[in-house]
Structure 1
Amino acid sequence: MLAARLHAAHDLRLEEVAERPLAPGEARVRVAMGGICGSDLSYYNKGGVGDFSVREPLTLGHEVSGVVAELAGDPLQLAVPGLAVGARVAINPSRPCLHCQACRAGRSNLCRNMRFLGSAALMPHVQGAFSETVVVRADQCVPVPDSMSLTLAACAEPLAVALHAVHRAGELTGRHVLVAGAGPIGLLCVVSALFAGAASVTVTDLFERPLEIAREMGAARTIDVRADPAALEQAATDLGGFDVALEATGASASLIGMPSLMRPGGRIVQLGMLPKGGVPLPANLLMAREIDLVGSFRFHEEFGMAVAALAGGRIEIGPILSGTVPLARADEAFQLAGDRQRAIKVHLEIG
């Protein structure tokens, strides 16, 4: 099969790789659509993401959908309702061990033995799904209705990330929320926060085009912090401080400045992947205002929630969809996805 494999920063090659046989309880999915994530872009541009660096050729991609081509085991025994050869599915890229303490506590996103599609965290790397087929455990396949496009199904993963961040934020009904960063995850945090009952969402970014999309998705205020840095402090003053902040940029300066924008008793949720090393925080301000600072990493049960919300039209994400590019032009797709002025979410058309 063909796969888009990264050898080093800016060295993405379309290569033939062997398909592996199925183990019991696994499914082979013919991949249809694959969304290019911020972590994929980081691997492409920097050769790594966060603390993880590419040390061997890595097939990228974890936001994918497709059609089941083969199953190893009786569908009834696989305990996935509706799963059969020919089923259209969204693929959950998380493959937790299901046995460790975190898994048994219902927090499988923190599994110490996690195998996540397209990740260089382990060696050998866990190969991703920007390939003509991918093998996953059967319970990673979530059937989607025929009425749901496979492009939309491939968006379940990033929406799940945003929904998990909102869950980590706590009760949002009637709250004023700040979202730092109008990239794909930040924009999905906007609709997720509003879905959870937020009274208003303020969004910051460095570019006007993503902020236009944020307004389309329901943001009450948008602030270009490069053009008007004082506007964010004024917005916080007008509201008496933000109740909740979702940091989706992964920029140290963004996190450092957040405590001063919060009301006493507020909560900051860090979901953007920060650079290597430490971040100097105003800890006394966190202490004196009793501001909670919590992390949000990937997702757990939110993946199924995301599929259901998209399939039922309860969350609308159309404004972030920026087009599709064939797998054969993967390098071009990555360059487009990295242009904040032209694109938000670019998909590879694989099947």
Structure 2
Amino acid sequence: MSLPTETLAVVAHAAGDLRVDTIAVAQPSNGEALVEIAYGGICGSDLHYWQHGAAGESILKAPMVLGHEIVGTVVQQAADGTGPAVGTLVAVHPATPGAGDGSAYPAERPNLSPGCTYLGSAARFPHTEGAFAKYAALPTHMLRALPAGLSLRDAALTEPASVAWHAVSRAGDLTGKRVLVIGAGPIGSLIVAVAKRAGASEIIATDMHELPLENAVRLGATGTLTATDADAIAAVSADVVFESSGSPRGLASAVRGAVRGGRVVMVGLLPSGEQPALISLAITRELELVGSFRFNDEIDEVLAALADGSLVIDPVVTHEFAAADALEAFDLARDSSRSGKVLLRF
């Protein structure tokens, strides 16, 4: 087939300046395949780059193609013959581990490597371009062939589902456990689904809005609470709490809602710098506060679970837009009272 020289792309130029541009198609180098992107999910980090020109301490210094939650089809195999063949449907693991400054980290947890880069990230300069584009040149180590029978649309949430799977793995065995999920946005809702699959007997979800709570029930929550009902949340006494709101108040609710001797898995990324926390209560209850950051090879388990039907996550998607309408899609995605996961269709 004749390969294109230009492609539509969703580009953050500066705070408040999001554009659908036409850019040159990157020429794949050795170890890279050209992928025709089918779907891309709008993540909170994409929204932050658009709204604030930064995601945490990653500051936008030049226009950057957004997007790391992507699936597509290989249209040109890597020149060195590595990676999937032309026509292969693939999900994308957007991380490239790296040694960085040489700081120590567990070798079996490359998500913690100090030099790790991620598609669509301004953590370094030049930035790591994302893949919200019709065509993207991607390293073959990122590509995971979809299991037979799994469609690109059904695999569209593989990346955020892997984040949720990693978080649940950080919690330990959930069989028969009571679980509390603080924040039922896309990641929180996916945690509900993965926790259900992992055997949790009771799953309580909290949020500020009705729509995410309704979605959480569809995904397996056995009960819901309004996030402002502090007394009801404290009365849950969950064996495991997942904090996925990314707010100091959410973390406080997580600590209060955990049973004595319980575990709190911190998934939501709080703003950089010092944050208030109920550390005294965590100490006297002997709580285990555990961080959870991105994921490693859990993506392979997620794909298998999606393919065999044991993980059902489609209700997380509430809207789908053509990529040309990305500005409208982003505007909706930032309103959690009206949307869950918003997909761009390329």
TM-score interval, normalised by the smaller of the two chains: over 0.9
TM-score normalized by the length of structure 1: 0.91
Question: Which of structure 1's runs of 4+ aligned residues deviate more than 4 A?
Answer: 98-104
In the alignment, residue 7 of structure 1 is paired with which amino acid? H
What is the CA-CA distance between 1:95 and the residue it aligns to? 1.6
Q: CA deviation at 1:21?
A: 2.4
Residue 150 (structure 2) aligns with: 148
Comparing 293-302 and 259-268, the one that deviates more: 259-268
Deviation at 1:148, TM superposition (A): 2.1
User: Is 1:97 aligned to 2:98, yes or no?
Assistant: yes
Q: Give the gaps of 5 or more residues in structure 1.
A: none
Which amino acid in structure 2 is aligned with residue 16 of structure 1?
Answer: T
Q: Any idea what SS the aligned residue of 2:24 has? A: coil
Match of 1:312, as an amino acid?
D
Instruction: Report the counterpart of residue 275 of structure 1 in structure 2.
Output: 271
Q: How does 1:94-243 map to 2 (within 5 A)?
A: 94-97=95-98, 105-145=107-147, 147-226=149-228, 228-234=229-235, 236=236, 241-243=237-239
CA contact (8 A) 1:102 1:110 kept: no
Distance 2:72 2:192 in 1: 27
Q: How many residues align?
A: 339
Q: Matched residues in 2 for 1:286 and 1:221: separation?
A: 25
Among 9, 22, 38, the alignment partner of 2:28 is: 22
How far the C-alpha of 1:104 sits from its partner, in A, is 7.1
Higher mean C-alpha deviation, range 99-108 or range 291-300: 99-108
Distance 2:333 2:302 in 1: 22
Secondary structure of 1:210's match? Answer: helix
- Single out whichever of 245-254 and 103-112 deviates more from structure 2: 103-112
Given residue 63 of structure 2, which amino acid in structure 1 is its aligned partner?
P
C-alpha offsets along residues 149-171 of structure 1, whole Å, 9 cap, x if unaligned? 21222210000000000011112
* C-alpha deviation, 1:91, in angstroms: 1.1
In the TM superposition, what are the counterparts of 1:241-252 in structure 2 within 5 Å? 241-252=237-248
**Is the CA contact (8 Å cut-off) linking 1:96 and 1:103 kept in structure 2?**
no
What is the CA deviation profile of residues 74-117 of structure 1, one whole-angstrom value per residue up to 9, with x for unaligned ones?
Answer: 54xx3x5xx20111111111122389787871111112221210
Contact 1:88 1:146 in 2 (8 A): no
Alignment deviations for residues 33-63 of structure 1 (CA, whole Å, 9 cap, x no partner): 1011122122222222222221111111101
Instruction: Measure, in 2, the Cα distance between the counterparts of 1:145 and 1:186.
Output: 25
1-structure distance, mates of 2:154, 2:99: 28
Distance 1:340 1:288 in 2: 35
The answer as to 2:267 corresponding to 1:262 is: no
Structure 1 window deviating more from structure 2 (310-319 vs 16-25): it is: 16-25
Query: 1:312 is matched with which residue: 289, 304, 308?
Result: 308
In structure 2, distance between residues paired with 1:168 and 1:346 = 27
Q: Which deviations, in whole Å up to 9, do the C-alpha atoms of 1:119-142 show, x marking residues without a partner?
A: 111111111010111122112111
Report 1:318-337 matches (<5 A): 318-337=314-333
Q: Please, what TM-score do these two structures have when normalized by structure 2?
A: 0.93
Output the CA distance in 1 between the equivalents of 2:196 and 2:104: 30
Q: Distance in 2 between matches of 1:59 and 1:36?
A: 12
Q: Verify the 8 A CA contact 1:98 1:108 in the aligned structure 2.
A: no
1:118 is displaced (CA, Å) by 0.5
- Structure 2 contact 147–307 (Cα < 8 Å) conserved: yes
Q: Please give the per-residue CA displacement for 1:256-307, whole angstroms capped at 9, x wherever unaligned.
A: 2332322222111111011122112222222222211111000001111111
Aligned to 2:50: 44
Whether contact under 8 Å (1:29, 1:69) holds in the other structure is: yes
- Is structure 2 residue 291 aligned with structure 1 residue 291? no
Equivalent residue in structure 1 for 2:345, among 322, 327, 349: 349
